[in-house]
Amino acid sequence: MFNTCERQQCSMWDEDLQTVDFIPEPSDSRILSAADINTRGHQEGWRSEVIGWNPQPVPVISRPRRTGQKIANFSIFVIITLLIWGIWKAEILVIDIPPPKSEWAFEDSGARDLQELGFTGDGVKVCMVDTGIDTTHPDLQSIDLVFKDFVRGAAEPIERGSLAHGTMMAGILVADGYLEGVAPGVTLGMAAALGDDGEGGNSGDQNTVASAIDWCWKTFGADIISLSLGGESDPDADRNGPTTNAVRQAISNGVFVISAAGNDGGSDDDGRVSTPSNVVEAISVGAFDDTGKIWKGSSLGESLDADGTNREHPHMKPEISAPGVGIISTAYGGEYYSSTGTSDATVFVAGILALILEAEPHIMNDTDVDCITEVKLALKESAIPINPDVEHDSRSGYGAVSGTAWLDEIRNSGACL
């Protein structure tokens, strides 16, 4: 069920609206749609979901005062209010209330701990296949960017998506301003291969997505490919699709591929992570919230590979979970949106891996697939269990990502040496 309201009216919500996300209407960003976060539409083919903008109310803290001070304090308040009003009317002063941040996500994932060790992702190339990027955002103006448009061949960076999906994913990784991303020092390759499907989502042709993945490692020279997108996995297909083949080729050339597990969790979950995160050596990522609980929208993983064989450790799907609920990031026109999904979680894992590659650069130069498996084994061993009763959970994987623990495990195990 959806309801629309003016932004000013929506800003003062009651407890009944605490479980909804607010999505700005494409035709008029002043009008927001309140969407139940438990309701998810399904789009056929390739998509990358965003739940939208979620403004947070500013808490008011009351402090007890002595009765004798109330009149004097009220008079001072009136004088200050009138003074500020006069300055505002004279257009001398503009007061902006900053948006909230998702700092919990950077801390809980271990990204900030790695940054405190001095790592920013410098020297590492991360490629995103998404909807593009809006580089006019103040947090994205100083990033090291290589852009390629596979939709219409635009020469300059452009955002083609619904609700600025690519810009939001880029902000989680490289924002360097009001928000600070996971790995702001990386060189970002943005391959625009998805666009607004006219129904509030983003989609793209598989061949276009495959071409973008090829560009990421063949031309851009990516060390990591981050795929906040997903398609339906057909267990009865007699051959792989072009995107799956592109991912496998990238992996066979030593490129790490981090891909979203999918957002079809719940009663309608088909029991399979999305493609191409189902590729054996790819890292499939689920999402958890600020309490450490797995997001119920994260897709379940299957125990069988595409060819019908049993999956083995450390390639059980999904492999890992990362922050992905209510993540605030960069959007259109200098604004900030909040989104929920495995798309966001994917970028956290890609960014943390970039910090690790900076710390252990020999891993980037290894084109042996066995090195990728060793890094994934270290990821498995370092994960913080979300479901401690099992070694691998079909929704949360081996557990929650821990940046410093992953790095320590790689060093202790001698991975890729």
Residue 1 has pLDDT above 50, yes or no: no
| Structural tokens at position 190 | 């943005």
**pLDDT attached to residue 88:** 42
140 and 32 fall within a common domain? no
Q: Is 165 an active-site residue?
A: yes
Percent of the chain topping pLDDT 70: 75
Q: What does the pLDDT average to over 56-61? A: 34
Task: Please report, for the domain that includes residue 118, its CATH number.
Answer: 3.40.50.200
28 and 110 fall within a common domain? no
Range of the domain at 149: 103-413
Q: How many CB atoms lie within 10 A of CB 383?
A: 23
Q: Is 343 an active-site residue?
A: yes
219 and 299 fall within a common domain? yes
**pLDDT attached to residue 31:** 56
Q: Determine, yes or no, domain membership for 86.
A: no
DSSP 351-400: HHHHHHHHHSGGGTT---HHHHHHHHHHHHHH-B-SSTTSSSBTTTBT-B
256 and 150 fall within a common domain? yes
Instruction: Give CA 300 to chain center in angstroms.
Output: 18
Q: Which of 21, 108, 130, 393 is catalytic?
A: 130
Q: What is the count of structural domains for the chain?
A: 2
Q: Which of 48, 113, 149, 165 is catalytic?
A: 165
From the list 375, 363, 241, 244, the residue with the least C-alpha distance to 319 is 375
Q: Determine, yes or no, domain membership for 20.
A: yes
Is there a contact between 374 and 352 (Cβ–Cβ < 8 Å)? Answer: no
Phi/psi at 371 (5° precision): -65, -40
Q: What does the pLDDT average to over 103-125? A: 98
Predicted confidence (pLDDT) per residue in 279-329, tens digit: 999 999 999 999 999 999 999 998 888 777 899 999 999 999 999 999 999
From the list 156, 111, 116, the residue with the least C-alpha distance to 132 is 156
Q: Determine, yes or no, domain membership for 225.
A: yes
C-alpha–C-alpha distance, residues 321 and 265, integer Å: 14
Q: What does the pLDDT average to over 235-244? A: 75
Percent of the chain topping pLDDT 90: 67
Out of 24-33, 98-107, 217-226, least confident range: 24-33
Q: Determine, yes or no, domain membership for 65.
A: no
Q: What does the pLDDT average to over 180-202? A: 94
6 and 138 fall within a common domain? no
27 and 140 fall within a common domain? no
Q: What is the mean pLDDT of the chain?
A: 83
Helix (H, G, I), strand (E, B) or coil at 152: coil
Residues 6+ apart with CB under 8 A from 2: 33, 34, 35
Q: Is 42 an active-site residue?
A: no
166 and 262 fall within a common domain? yes
Predicted confidence (pLDDT) per residue in 328-373, tens digit: 999 998 999 999 999 999 999 999 999 999 999 999 978 889 999 9
Q: What does the pLDDT average to over 233-247? A: 78
Q: Determine, yes or no, domain membership for 394.
A: yes
Q: Determine, yes or no, domain membership for 88.
A: no
CA distances from 88 to 8, 82, 83, 99 (A): 19, 10, 9, 21
150 and 31 fall within a common domain? no
150 and 299 fall within a common domain? yes
Q: Which of 211, 343, 382, 402 is catalytic?
A: 343
28 and 118 fall within a common domain? no
Q: What does the pLDDT average to over 13-26? A: 50
Q: Determine, yes or no, domain membership for 367.
A: yes
**pLDDT attached to residue 3:** 30
Residue 232 has pLDDT above 80, yes or no: no
Residue 70 has pLDDT above 80, yes or no: no
| Structural tokens at position 310 | 């049993």
Residue 37 has pLDDT above 70, yes or no: no
Residue that wins the pLDDT comparison between 224 and 66: 224
**pLDDT attached to residue 99:** 84
**pLDDT attached to residue 74:** 60
C-alpha–C-alpha distance, residues 4 and 35, integer Å: 9
Q: Determine, yes or no, domain membership for 85.
A: no
182 and 278 fall within a common domain? yes
138 and 227 fall within a common domain? yes
Residue 275 has pLDDT above 90, yes or no: yes
